A and B are shown apart, each in its own frame.
Chain A
Amino acid sequence: AQSVTQPDIHITVSEGASLELRCNYSYGATPYLFWYVQSPGQGLQLLLKYFSGDTLVQGIKGFEAEFKRSQSSFNLRKPSVHWSDAAEYFCAVGTGAGKSTFGDGTTLTVKP
């Protein structure tokens, strides 16, 4: 069965610093991978997605993610974090049947 692990429950970074959120997945076939962001009390918004091709994908709000098949990872990065990036981030794997499995999320706090 497919699964997604986000090893870091909570990460704190200073504004302007770089960010990397980790995501490892387990899935037997070629994965469809997603990163979503959730502000408190809101729904989830898609940041970026990987289906195939170039392993470095660009998303909204200056985020990017790199797919590494050998490590079963899809880590999210941002070169310089803004205070408005404070939120919860979810990694997900699409199973190809229209469904997705989500990680438990990583909460990002941004220090001024």
Chain B
Amino acid sequence: DGGITQSPKYLFRKEGQNVTLSCEQNLNHDAMYWYRQDPGQGLRLIYYSQIVNDFQKGDIAEGYSVSREKKESFPLTVTSAQKNPTAFYLCASGTLEDYTGELFFGEGSRLTVL
């Protein structure tokens, strides 16, 4: 089945540690996105990539980094510079053929920093 796989589903880390969240898709989509979700705040865009080896900052990129070495993969690193990293992180992908913004989401990764 085609889809987006995020791992791990739950992650606990100590303050000051970098963590990397995995996102893999087999939908053959060109574009991939990372969103952060906090209660009552909807989804906020962290980074997005429309082509391999290229990515752009979203609205809240500070304290995060990404890479896009393969079309299928778009890992997100939450660095120690992120002041409030505890959140639910969602990866999404989309085709650029119609450019409408329709997104396909993974199941999410919940990060808790202790």
Contact = CB atoms under 8 A, between A and B. Distances in A.
Interface size class of B (residues with CB under 8 A): 20 to 34
A96 B105 contact: no
Given A98-B31, A99-B48, A92 B100 contact: no
Given A43-B90, A43-B106, A43-B107, A104 B41 contact: yes
Contacts of B43: 44, 90, 102
Interface string A32-46: 101010000111111
A99 B96 CA distance: 10
A17 interface: no
Most chain-B CB neighbours within 10 Å: which of A34, A44, A49, A103? A44
Contacts of A36: 103, 105
Contact of A98 (B4, B90, B101): B101
Interface of A: 9, 32, 34, 36, 41-46, 49, 51, 90, 92-100, 102-105
| Nearest 4 pairs of A and B residues by beta carbon | A94-B101, A43-B105, A100-B101, A104-B42
Given A43-B4, A43-B108, A51-B98, 20 more contacts: A32-B101, A34-B103, A36-B105, A41-B88, A41-B110, A42-B107, A43-B6, A43-B90, A44-B92, A44-B103, A46-B102, A46-B103, A49-B100, A94-B101, A94-B102, A95-B101, A97-B99, A99-B45, A100-B101, A103-B42
